[in-house]
Structure formats: C-alpha cells, structure tokens
Structure 1
C-alpha cells in the first residue's frame, strides 16, 4: 500500500510540478504520523500545528510545514492517467486499489470474537463527489457514508464498505440492509457468531438468512415492519421475544 501511494504521488508531482520531485518511504511514514498527531492535538487549523503558541513539538520535529503541505498537494492513491476509464465502472476509482488492500488486511489480520456489531458511519467531508451524503441528524451533516462491521470487545474494524449509491449488483427485491449485513459478515459466517444491529438492519428475513449460516442476531426493530405481529405493535410492553428456527430473535421496540 505504501509503495503504491509513493509511486502515484511522485508520478503526480513530476507531471505537474518538477520532474525531479521525490519522496521516499520514511518521509511518507513521517507524513502519515503528522496526520495522526494532527488529529490527536485538535488544534484549530493545520497551520497552527507549527505555530509558536499552539504548535505540537512532535509535529515540528518530524517535518517542516512547507514540506508537509507540498506532499499533501500531490498525495494520490491511484494512477491518475487511467482513472477516467476505471471511473466508468467504479465510482471509488480514485482510491479503490489502496482501499481494497486496506479492507483485505482488516479481514485477514485479525480474528474477531463471537460478537460483531454492524452500523453506518458518516465520515465528515465536503469533497465534491457523486456519493457525498447529507444527513441532518448527524453532528457533521455532510460526509461519505460507510457500512462498518466491528468487533464488539476490541472495536477493531472487521470489514467495511463505502456506500456509493444504488448497487446494480444487488439482487432485485433484496433489501439494502440485508445485502449490506450479509456482505460485511461473509468472511465471519458459519462460526457461531452473533451480530448486533439497529432497526435499519434488523428484520425477520435477515435473521433467517443468518441462522442458515450458523449466525444469530440481536437488535432493535421498527414496529412497522411487516413481520411484526399486530399484538406486539399495539402492546404496552417495550420488549418482546420471538423464535426464529431454534434460536431466539430478540428485537426491542422503541419507546
């Protein structure tokens, strides 16, 4: 991944600025460390990381501000010369190669426990792209949405998918929520695990699909779902249990 980022960043810089522009791997790692420290220090702006009053000594000692900005300007995650062709079939073309390696590493480098949670995450961004989302209920209302499966105990990202809009490969009639859960959980099924979801994902049909793959589900469920019995919809109780096959499916009705 680092070699790819290095190659494409140098390629872009030499094509747009100076033919002798270069960045070695230690410098790329130093750049990444500054980005991480910048997120930890939470200074008002990037320039303040090098200021006399608010600056972080570790950042100042790692890389000059001008060099950091120079690398930031040219940082690329793909071969720009072929991006337009790839973008015709891949909306994530600008980063899909490195992203695919990252997700593969997440799946193969860690064995999650018995409990995995699935949810959405909106990463703040105002970059102009066709899959930018606006969600009024979020603190940062604009961003790129990801579907994420995390290990309950360690919070490790087990699998993650970007939401790029309508997926032409999704089978007709299959709910988006079910498709997302099954894709995220595919590497971890048939192992007796349990997943926890919110009411966007939880449904009887999803529970049945998971049960066939030796996986159970626990989650809140919207009481307007077709599979919820009428007696439960109008009950004063806020919790009920229903049987799916030989396992318990325990949704919680919202108050």
Structure 2
C-alpha cells in the first residue's frame, strides 16, 4: 500500500504558475526530485537534454516538466510495453503501467518509449560523404602494392640505423671484413623482407633457422639462394628502427620511441591509398609477446593472453587497417587530443583519437561494450559520426526495466531520445543484451533473422578487427624474439601484406599466391646480384639458375683471360704424385689445376 499511496499523493498542484528553480538554490536537488515526482509527461520523445543539466534553470511554469515540444512525438505503436520497475513486491498501479518514459538510475537519463517523429527521408547523418585518396591501378603488381605501405622513407630509416648498429658490432670482431658484418643496402633489405614473406607463406616463421637453411634436402632452397644463414641471423640481431643516441630523450615523451616513428609513417601510408566504406570498426589487437616490456598487457580472453596492445580502426567489411596507435600505458589514449577531449573517459578518448581522420564524413563506428557509453555517442554526434555498439549493464543511464531477466525470449524494449536509441533484447532465457545506436531511430526488425535491425547491423559490421587478426595469424612472419620493437615490426609487415592484398583484385583463396609473387619480386634483385659472384659454389649457382628461370650468365672475356696463367705452375691437387704443370686455373678458387683433375663445362652448363 505504500507504493499506491506514494502515487496517490503526488498530484500536480492546481496553481498554473510555479516558481522558477535555480541551480544556485541550496535545496536544488530535492526541489528537482519533488517536481519530477508530480506526474509523468505526456510527450513521447526526448533529446540529448534529457540528461539532467548541471548548470541550467528548470522552468516548471510550462505544461510539461521536461519541457519537450509535442511536435516531436509519435502516436502510440502496437508494441507491448514492459512493466516498469517497482521498489516493492506489490503489483504496479495503472498509472505506472501507462507511463511513456523510462528513467536511468536516480533519474539521470530519460528515455521515451515511442520513437521520435521523423519524415521518410534518409537522415542527414546517415548520408556518407566520400573521402579523398590516391588512386591505385587495379592491375598493380603485388610487390608494388606492398611497397606502398613499407615506403622508401621507412626502409631508408631502418637501413640507416641498422648500419649504425652493424658498425658497433664490427668492433667486437678481430676480422671486421667478414661477409655477414658488411652494411646492408636497399636491395638486400628488400630480399630480407621477401624472406620474411616466404616464411609466412610456408608457415615456417617458428621453424629453427638451422632447419630452414639445411643443405641435406630438408631445408628451403629459396632461403639459401638469397643469403647465407649467418647473414640472415646477423640482420635479425642488428635490425634497428630509430637513432639510439637520442632514444633516452625521446622516451620521456613516448615510451615506444624505439619503433613509434616508423609505425606512424606506416599508418599514414595506410590512410593514403584506401577509401573507407560506410561502416568502420574499433577494437584492440593483442600482439603476442612474453618478454620484458613496461606496457605489456594481460588479456585472458585473447588466445595469446600476454602481448602488446594496438588500438585499431578498420573497414567494417574488408578489415583494412586505416588508423592505429600503440597503447603504452595510462594516459596514452589521450595523446594528441585537446584539453576538453582529455576529460572524457579513457575508452571515449580512444574512439575520438582513432576517429580523427574520418570526422565529419557521416560514417558509422561499431565497437564492443568496452568503448560504448552515452558520452561517446554525444561526442561523435558533434563531429558528424554515428555509433552502434553493445553496452555494459552497469551504466547508470540504463533503466532498471531494461535489465529484468524474467522476460519472454526474443522480447525487445526500446528507449528513445532525439539522437540516441537504446535497445534491450532477450536472445535466450535469463540473458539480456543492451545495445545503443545513433544510426537507428525506429523499432525496425530484420524479418529474415527475426532479430532487431540494430543487432543485425552490429553482427555484420563488428568483425573488422577480428578479420584482420585472422589474416595476420594465418600467414605471419613473426619470429621468436625478446625485443619488443621486433614484435611491432613483424606485425607491420603482416598488416602491410594484408592491406596490399585487399587493394589487389586477387580472390580470397589466392592469398598464398599473392604473397609468393610479392616475395619473389622482393628477392629477385638479390638473386641476380649474387649469381655473378665468382666464389659462389656450383651447387648454389645451379640453384640460382633454376630459381631465376634463365641460363647462367656467359663468361666474359676478362674472366676467360683470368683463367690462364702466363707461367705454368704445379697442379694444386696432384703435384705431389704426378708433378704436372698447367697454365689453367680454377674459375672459383683461382688455383692452378690440370686437365686430368678438372672437368670442362660450357658456358650454358657452368
């Protein structure tokens, strides 16, 4: 009876004019709560002002307590209304069951049961504005597409700083002219990238280096043809991505200074050559790593558990990476934001930072419940973007009625403001899903799937990051390492290969062929340069000839002259037994050899 009495006593005063309440009054909160308790408004739409103002005046002289114009209202629909929440166990009164609003906790947010009145035209915020991009020829070679992302400025920085590290390593050896210690150039670095792509295509990224370069027939011939095992390992050891002399100073502002410069250039290249679709996805990517790093994260729901986190924005349909940044710990989400934006919640800061390149294009962002809030919906609305996502159930804006578990399976409840739609759906018994959308403004259903249209749209557009993760995991060049900058570099190469494949016209099942073609083009320059080395063994020259698909390079006149001695000398193989003298020298080792100890070969078979 206490509940019934509470509603019977709260009648509207008969006076037509009520005093204006100011926020400076000491009893402001109690006066607002008393005013709202008189009765429910007859309007059926709410807007962003439904969040109780912090610095505003509440005018109670109007006909409605919430001061919402009646023109925004729609007629009653045939959807069954849910029973409002009651503090007592007694049945609710008829006045409660017929009210037209839901309220969040402590009445912090008001939601109308009926959708706002709208005409049949497509809302302006759902009309996508095209974005400028550099046109890429449709029939571009795989290696050309790959080099769009790992551009020459990235390669030149890596080559420069790697050679600086090689100079330091040479000082630790007595023989400083060892072949594996020489400086790396652009041709050899491209060949190194090609070897990484081959290891991804062959799924041998976790295979031991000795097994890859084995000469007993169990190894990969292409690796031995490109470079020696010692040279490959030395490049892995010496690879650097920044100036070590200034790293400590730069780490004061950015703890990821060892790799952040080339990562930012790579992200900038990703934004040049692709036009995003209507829908984008924001989520985190965890790159597996168990070494020492101050910003390593533990995420039990991820397959790898431990790793380095990258916040990403991708195309919702293809999974193309468009924008990303490295999460380096607390306050790293707000880098580059204004002071006002830094006051937002950390997930909201992440969404605002990632959405900077696509603001004012009316595109949609789909994200999970970690990023979703009423706050981010309002912020994105200001910059011309819409948002769809699941919502955590502990948000205070969610009405208690939306969280009830004893509801019919597949039942829905909607709450509307002028720009935001809140949905509560029961997919199965004792489970409730809460969704928020600034793109949908009605109670539409997906007839084929028999679920609300908001949920159907979310299911089709939420997989952008998951698709990118899957593609990177299927063909990954990541090798086991204790250096976290190398982990980020490997992921850059993986994403560059994925983005290049998306730009191409290859079919999904031809991705292996695409990666092999790109890798072949990257290593070809090194193969052509290596085949003319005189000291190279005949076995490797034959291997290079077979890989290049061309005949061996004919012997030049100078080489032919160098194979003859002006003075006859003893054969270095049989001089102790036969004492034969000869004027012929071996083409490889340049030692004198008689005709009985050698086998002649023509230029084609050489």
TM-score w.r.t. length of structure 2: 0.40
From 4, 12, 15, the equivalent of 2:168 is 15
**1:54 CA displacement:** 5.3
2 CA distance for matches of 1:23 and 1:205? 51
Report the CA distance shift for 1:38/1:250 in structure 2 as closer, same or farther (over 3 A).
Answer: farther
Alignment of 1:1-255 (within 5 A): 1-17=154-170, 21-43=182-204, 44-47=206-209, 48-51=211-214, 52=216, 55-167=219-331, 170=334, 173-234=343-404, 236=407, 240-246=413-419, 248=421, 253-254=432-433
Report the CA distance shift for 1:36/1:254 in structure 2 as closer, same or farther (over 3 A).
Answer: farther
SS of 1:105's partner is helix
Report the CA distance shift for 1:193/1:11 in structure 2 as closer, same or farther (over 3 A).
Answer: same
2 CA distance for matches of 1:85 and 1:217? 39
Q: Which runs of 5+ in 1 are unaligned?
A: none
> Over alpha carbons, which structure has the higher Rg?
2
**Residue correspondences, number:** 255
Report the CA distance shift for 1:169/1:205 in structure 2 as closer, same or farther (over 3 A).
Answer: closer
SS of 1:94's partner is helix
Measured against aligned partners, the alpha-carbon deviations of 1:181-202 in whole angstroms (never above 9, x if no partner) come to 1100111011110111001011
**1:176 CA displacement:** 1.0
2 CA distance for matches of 1:115 and 1:251? 23
Confirm or deny: 8 A CA contact 2:342 2:349 kept in the other structure.
no
2 CA distance for matches of 1:94 and 1:165? 16
Report the CA distance shift for 1:53/1:133 in structure 2 as closer, same or farther (over 3 A).
Answer: farther
Measured against aligned partners, the alpha-carbon deviations of 1:130-181 in whole angstroms (never above 9, x if no partner) come to 1111222222122100111001122110100111111178356421110001
Confirm or deny: 8 A CA contact 1:224 1:233 kept in the other structure.
no
TM-score w.r.t. length of structure 1: 0.90
Confirm or deny: 8 A CA contact 2:279 2:364 kept in the other structure.
yes
1 CA distance for matches of 2:190 and 2:169? 23
Confirm or deny: 8 A CA contact 1:218 1:251 kept in the other structure.
no
Provide the alpha-carbon RMSD of the alignment. 2.4
The more displaced of 60-69 and 219-228 is 60-69
1 CA distance for matches of 2:368 and 2:424? 9
The more displaced of 201-210 and 230-239 is 230-239
Task: Compare relative contact order (CA 8 Å, sep 6+) and give the higher one, 1 or 2.
Answer: 2
1 CA distance for matches of 2:380 and 2:412? 22
**1:40 CA displacement:** 2.9
1 CA distance for matches of 2:309 and 2:218? 32
**1:223 CA displacement:** 1.4
